[in-house]
Amino acid sequence: MKLQNFIFQFCFAIFFVFSVSLISETIYLRPKVFLKKPSLYLSDLAKIDRAKDREIFSNLKEVKKLSKSELSDILKDEFEIRGTDAVLIPLFIPYTNSEILDSLEKEINFDKSKWRISYLGDEIYLPEENLEVKWNLQNAKENSGQKLISLDLFFEKEKIHTYRLKFLFEEKKTFYFTKSDIPKGKTLTKEDIFLKEIFSSDSKKTIELEKILDHQAVSNIAANTLIEKKHLNQTKLVERGSEVDIVYLKGNLFVKGRGIAKNSANEGEIVKVSSLSNHQLISARAMEKGVVVVE
C-alpha cells in the first residue's frame, strides 16, 4: 500500500511539472512601438524577462502592422499573446529643419513678399517607407506670431502619430526708425525719423506718428533703432489734436477760450493752438494739463 502511494505521488509530481512546462507565458503587446533603430526586439513589443528577449526583425525600415498570429508563428507558440496588433514605427530617417520648412511653405502657398516663416524646432525622424505625411493647417492662418502646427503621419489611411511643430510667422510692416543717435530728453521731430519696412511678428511695436513727434526720449536711442513706446515719454500736458483751455493774460485782463492743440507739449513748451471761435492759429505755452497760456 505504501509502495502504491509513493508511485502515485511520484507520477502526480511528474505530471504536474510537465503540465506547468506546457503552459505558455502570457505577454501583452503594446499597440504602438516607436523605434530609433532598424532592429526590433521582443522587449520593444512587450514587458518581458530580459533572459527571454530576442530579436524579431533585424532591418525594419518601414511602418508595419504586426499581428498576434504572425508574432506567434515567429515565437513558435512559446508565448500566449494578448492585446491588439502592434503598429511598428521606425523613426530614424532625419527630416531636417529646411525640409520641414520647405514642406510647410509649399503646402500653405503664401506670398513671400508679405510673409516670412521660420521653423523654431529641431529636426524630426520619420520611417523610410510606407508612410503618408499630411500637414494640419488649422493653425496656419495668415496672422503673425508663434504657432504650433501639426504634422500627421498616416499608415493605411489611419493616423499613427503627430508631431507638434513650432513656427514663427512674420508679416512685412512699416515702422519708424531713428535717423541718427537721439540723446535723452530730446524732443523728436520729422527730421529725426524715417520709415522702413521689416518683417515682424509683434503688432504691438507699431506706434503712430503723433505718438512720436513732439515727444521726448526717456533715454539715449541709437541710430537706426525701431522706435517703440518704451523709448518715449508718452505723458504730455497737452496732446496733439486735443481740446485745450486758452488763457489770455495781459495785466489784470484775464480771458479764457477753447482751441485745438496742433502739437504736443510739456510744461513751458510752445504749442500751436487753433481757436475754436475764429480758427485763428496762435502760439501759447503749456501751463498744466489741458491748459495753455498766451502771454
Domain containing residue 30: CATH number: 3.10.129.70
- Domain boundary residue among 90, 116, 135? 90
pLDDT of residue 139: 77
Task: Look at the chain and report how many structural domains it folds into.
Answer: 4
Nearby residues of 10 by Cβ (< 8 Å), 6 or more positions away? none
pLDDT of residue 24: 64
Distance of CA 255 to the CA centre of its chain: 60
pLDDT of residue 267: 81
What proportion of the chain, given as a percentage, has pLDDT over 70? Answer: 91
pLDDT of residue 199: 93
pLDDT of residue 124: 96
The CATH number linked to 207 is 3.90.1210.10
Residue reference for cell 531636417: 96
- Cell digits of residue 283: 502760439
Positive or negative, the CA dihedral 207, 211, 216, 218 is negative
Flag whether 178 is in a domain.
yes
Of 252, 247, 183, nearest in space to 221 by CA: 183
Cα–Cα dist 120/145, whole Å: 12
Phi, psi torsion values for 135, nearest 5 degrees: -85, 135
- Cell digits of residue 195: 520709415
Cα–Cα dist 157/139, whole Å: 22
Cα–Cα dist 136/269, whole Å: 58
The residue type found at 192 is D
pLDDT of residue 154: 95
pLDDT of residue 43: 93
pTM given for the model: 0.67
- Domain boundary residue among 231, 253, 281? 231
Are 127 and 150 contained in the same domain? yes
pLDDT of residue 7: 53
pLDDT of residue 140: 76
Q: Which residues of the chain are under the pLDDT cut of 70?
A: 1-24, 142, 203
Nearby residues of 111 by Cβ (< 8 Å), 6 or more positions away? none
Range of the domain at 224: 172-231
Helix, strand, coil tally for the chain in percent (to 5) = 20, 45, 35
Flag whether 8 is in a domain.
no
The residue type found at 258 is R
pLDDT of residue 19: 40
Nearby residues of 218 by Cβ (< 8 Å), 6 or more positions away? 184, 230, 231, 232, 233
